[in-house]
Amino acid sequence: MIFKCFSLLIITQILVATAKPINPGFDDPQQKALEKEAKEETVNLLNSLFRSQIAYFTEVNSNLNPRTKRAADIRLYITRLNQAIAENELDKKDKMWLDIFEEFKGSPLLLNREEETGLTDMQYKILLTGKKLQAISAGFVSDVADYFWKMAKISGKVVENHFEGKNRLTNP
């Protein structure tokens, strides 16, 4: 489950690219509307990712001694995620996500170090795989599936718009 979560994070980074302009300089209002819709959907997905992580790590943190290093790391991580949610521009949000990833790559939030968590390996494993945490992860997987569906529909509209535009140019 933990590896699925991180795999989804990487996939999300790839998905951000799908909201980039398909044909820059192409001045078609419908095309621009579709690009805007794709960006909005990507922002929604990123916010869903951030909220899922906030919910997940809030649950983990609630079971840690608040004075441990891991609890402090998680609180800071949650603060950074909330800041990313507050950003509305896709490129800035994406940069913030990359910055958060860089900032916390040295802090093994999902790995147990007893001196940082105050828990044994088994206790931490049980904490990370609880039913509530599985439900949070499943909810995010559902959000990703919805995103793929919406982006497929938008892509279909882009292709349709492209061919309609070509037909208007060749058959006036």
Average pLDDT of 40-53? 90
Asked if residues 117 and 64 have their Cβ atoms less than 8 Å apart, the reply is yes
**Higher-confidence position of 5 and 109:** 109
Asked if residues 22 and 32 have their Cβ atoms less than 8 Å apart, the reply is no
Q: What are phi and psi of 87, to 5 degrees?
A: -75, 135
Q: How far apart are alpha carbons 54 and 69 in whole angstroms?
A: 18
**Higher-confidence position of 15 and 77:** 77
Q: How far apart are alpha carbons 101 and 118 in whole angstroms?
A: 24
Give residue 5's pLDDT band: very low, low, confident or very high (50, 70, 90): very low
Average pLDDT of 102-110? 83
Task: Provide the greatest CA pair distance for the chain.
Answer: 74
The predicted model scores a pTM of 0.73
Give residue 96's pLDDT band: very low, low, confident or very high (50, 70, 90): very high
Asked if residues 65 and 114 have their Cβ atoms less than 8 Å apart, the reply is no
Average pLDDT of 38-62? 90
Percent of the chain with pLDDT over 90: 31
Q: How far apart are alpha carbons 75 and 4 in whole angstroms?
A: 23
Query: Considering only 33-47, 72-86, 104-118, 155-169, which range has the smallest mean pLDDT?
Result: 155-169
Q: Which among 53, 38, 4, 17 is positioned nearest to 157, based on CA atoms?
A: 38
Contacts of 132 (CB under 8 A, 6+ apart): 59
Place of tokens 């192409």: 26
CA angle 53, 81, 67 (to 5 degrees): 80
* pLDDT for the residue 21: 53
CB-side neighbour CA atoms (13 Å) of 69: 10
Average pLDDT of 164-168? 58
Per-domain residue ranges for the chain? 54-125, 130-165
